[in-house]
């Protein structure tokens, strides 16, 4: 799950699967975003008047009003939203009560992306947006509603340093059973002060392993750019759209690869993040055309490329079933505008946009405020982006990408390069 000013009010964007994102756009006027492990748009955050101490019932009623005014489904999933306005009034005596009943209220929508964040979780999202977290440096996913799987370790992070690997299944956290818990619940158990240890027990195939990992402050780097194939091909991996630095890092990656004949843009295992990052990065690559359209109860908005791309190098895009929200917006924009071949497997399928609003008491709620369509008008929610070329195995995906890119390069009269790329833009 992000250039957001820490002062309030402010707007932010996120993408789900525990994914956030909030960013100011340079070429696109609207600031929006997508949401932890999916995408979110964030609206003006509520803050009580100076000197005003919020009452617990005010927290609940503020949440109710925000959903009433902004939820994308005017039928509220068939619920009579008015019935919930005062349902818990006599039971709310503390902030903890208010938080509990806000969560219960949101659950009636049966929308996994419209959800409550307690003050600690909201602060963690802010830290992620600032590209700085305290933890062990892993991405987690729940498989089959039961198994907690490490999908990625942050390079040189605490978990990777002690030997934790992608595909490890976490079975215990500090001696507490982790089977069946969600990534969010696991994050609660793993959180702690920098310098404090946490013990993680995992299954690796049939082997059991235990690691004691010291929590550290971790800088989140969104982009890795490297030159392959004897200097002819650039491989730029975008692992998240969550941090404020994602689009800046991507621009720097393009500069590093500016003398290559073609680019592989790798979005595999990318859970998404800020919509604004997806828009800005798409604008760096597209010569023209629509990037994405969002549809809410209040109308339709379309974001269009500025027509001033940073590169015109041939492109292929790698995706898989974990490429979600912001990743799908970028992949869909490049596919529908015929800017690059999409290679891999069908993507995750999150076509909804969330907004995060701060509540009195330091908590927040994510609210699904719109759905989005690719440039060709395709709704990918629960469907995903279909690749142009199907390849399942990661090695096969890379081999297919190289073949496709080399064919594109060979068809050109002369290589298209961008050696004059400037980071000042």
Give the pLDDT score at 359.
95
**Separation CA 24–CA 33 (nearest Å):** 10
Active site residue 404: no
Active site residue 424: no
User: How many angstroms separate the first and last alpha carbons of the chain?
Assistant: 25
Tokens of 292: 């994405």
pLDDT, tens digit, for every residue of 57-83? Answer: 999 999 999 999 999 999 999 999 999
Specify whether the CB–CB gap between 98 and 56 falls below 8 A. yes
Is there a shared CATH topology between the 133-219 domain and the 223-350+373-410 domain? no
Specify whether the CB–CB gap between 278 and 286 falls below 8 A. no
Active site residue 325: yes
Q: How many CA atoms lie within 13 A of 62 on its CB side?
A: 23
Residues of the chain with pLDDT under 70: 1-54, 131, 418-425
In CATH, the architecture of 133-219 is: Roll (2.30)
pLDDT, tens digit, for every residue of 93-134? Answer: 999 999 999 999 999 999 989 999 999 888 878 777 776 778
Please give the CATH number for the structural domain made up of 13-125: 3.30.750.44
Assign domain 223-350+373-410 one CATH number from 3.90.226.10, 1.10.10.10, 1.20.120.50, 3.40.630.30.
Answer: 3.90.226.10
Residues 6+ apart with CB under 8 A from 144: none
Which of 18, 37, 243, 325 is labelled catalytic?
A: 325
Give the pLDDT score at 26.
33
Which of 239, 327, 336, 370 is labelled catalytic?
A: 336
To the nearest 10°, report the CA torsion of 151, 113, 53, 128: 30
Task: Classify 172 as helix, strand or coil.
Answer: strand
104: left (phi over 0), alpha (psi -120 to 50) or beta: alpha
What strands, in cross-sheet order, belong to the sheet with 223-228? 223-228, 233-238, 262-266, 315-319, 340-344, 389-390
Alpha-carbon distances of 80 from 105, 211, 267, 404, rounded to whole Å: 12, 49, 40, 53
pTM of the model: 0.77
- Please list the residues that pair with 232 across neighbouring strands: none
Instruction: For residue 151, report the phi and psi dihedrals to the nearest 5 degrees.
Output: -95, -20
**Separation CA 94–CA 59 (nearest Å):** 10
Contacts 24+ apart (CB under 8 A), 406-413: 406/233, 406/262, 408/262, 408/314, 408/316, 408/341, 409/232, 409/261, 409/262, 409/314, 412/314
Domain boundaries, the chain: 13-125, 133-219, 223-350+373-410
* H or E element that contains 159: helix 158-162
């Amino acid at each position: 799950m992000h250039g957001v000013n820490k002062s309030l009010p402010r707007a932010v964007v996120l993408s789900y699967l525990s994914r956030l994102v909030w960013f100011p756009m340079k070429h696109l006027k609207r600031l929006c975003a997508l949401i932890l492990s999916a995408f979110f748009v964030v609206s003006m955050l509520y803050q009580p008047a100076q000197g005003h101490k919020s009452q617990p019932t005010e927290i609940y009623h503020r949440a109710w009003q925000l959903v009433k005014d902004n939820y994308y489904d005017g039928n509220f999933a068939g619920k009579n939203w008015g019935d919930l306005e005062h349902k818990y009034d006599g039971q709310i005596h503390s902030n903890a009560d208010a938080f509990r009943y806000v969560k219960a209220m949101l659950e009636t929508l049966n929308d996994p992306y419209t959800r409550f964040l307690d003050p600690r979780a909201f602060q963690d999202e802010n830290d992620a947006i600032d590209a700085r977290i305290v933890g062990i440096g892993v991405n987690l996913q729940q498989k089959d509603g039961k198994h907690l799987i490490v999908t990625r370790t942050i390079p040189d992070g605490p978990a990777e340093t002690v030997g934790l690997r992608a595909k490890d299944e976490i079975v215990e956290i500090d001696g507490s059973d982790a089977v069946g818990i969600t990534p969010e619940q696991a994050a609660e158990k793993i959180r702690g002060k920098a310098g404090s240890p946490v013990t993680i027990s995992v299954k690796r195939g049939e082997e059991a392993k235990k690691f004691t990992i010291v929590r550290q402050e971790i800088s989140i780097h969104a982009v890795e750019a490297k030159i392959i194939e004897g200097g002819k091909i650039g491989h730029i991996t975008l692992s998240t759209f969550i941090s404020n630095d994602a689009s800046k890092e991507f621009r720097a990656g393009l500069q590093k690869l500016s003398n290559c004949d073609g680019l592989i843009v790798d979005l595999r295992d990318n859970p998404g993040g800020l919509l604004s990052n997806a828009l800005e990065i798409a604008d760096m690559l597209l010569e023209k055309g629509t990037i994405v359209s969002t549809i809410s109860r209040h109308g339709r908005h379309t974001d269009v490329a500025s027509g001033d791309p940073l590169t015109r190098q041939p492109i292929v895009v790698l995706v898989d079933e974990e490429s979600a929200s912001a990743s799908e917006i970028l992949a869909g924009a490049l596919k529908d505008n015929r800017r690059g071949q999409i290679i891999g497997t069908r993507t995750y399928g999150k076509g909804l946009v969330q907004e995060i609003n701060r509540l009195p008491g330091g908590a927040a709620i994510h609210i699904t405020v719109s759905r989005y369509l690719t440039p060709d008008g395709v709704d990918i929610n629960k469907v995903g982006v279909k690749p142009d070329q199907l390849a399942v195995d990661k090695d096969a995906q890379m081999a297919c990408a190289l073949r496709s890119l080399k064919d594109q390069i060979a068809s050109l009269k002369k290589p298209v390069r961008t050696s004059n790329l400037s980071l000042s833009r």
